[in-house]
Amino acid sequence: MHTALAQLLEIEGALAAALVEIESGMPLASVGEAGGMDLDIAVAGNTEMLRAKRKAIRAIGMEDEVEDVIVTLFSQYHLLRPLGSNDGLFLCVVLDRKAATLAMARHELRRVEGGLSL
């Protein structure tokens, strides 16, 4: 788990990363500094967005899953990716928007998530 989070910090522009439990919204593990913000509070808010999107998908009768969620702030990107191996967990990576390439960050997040086994 810590190896995977360390790999996420290697993404260009990465500030912080966390493995988060969807039920509680609390990180099970985290690394890095999220540009002066409280990472625990940020992932709790991001958890609410992920839960809401999952609820909306069910409400409209779609048989689909959330692949990832991208939150764009003026200074940061927050990427959320539910684990394919455990739908009760997701990875969150916080990126400096000026230093990160969104497409590459998504690619690397997908690669790390695919190699993570819990």
- What's 88's domain CATH number? 3.30.450.30
Confidence of residue 116 (pLDDT cuts 50, 70, 90): confident
Work out the pLDDT band at 102, boundaries 50, 70, 90: very high
Q: What is the pLDDT of residue 6?
A: 95
The mean per-residue pLDDT over the stretch 78-82 comes to: 97
Both tokens assigned to 104: 């590459």
pLDDT at 2: 84
Query: How many separate domains does the chain show?
Result: 1
pLDDT confidence of residue 56: 96
Average pLDDT over the chain, rounded to an integer: 94
64 and 57 Cβ atoms separated by less than 8 Å: yes
**C-alpha distances in Å from residue 90, one per residue of 36, 75, 98, 104:** 22, 22, 24, 19
Residue 25 in tokens: 């919204």
Containing structural domain, residue 39: 2-115
Helices (H), 1-118: 2-9, 39-59, 102-115
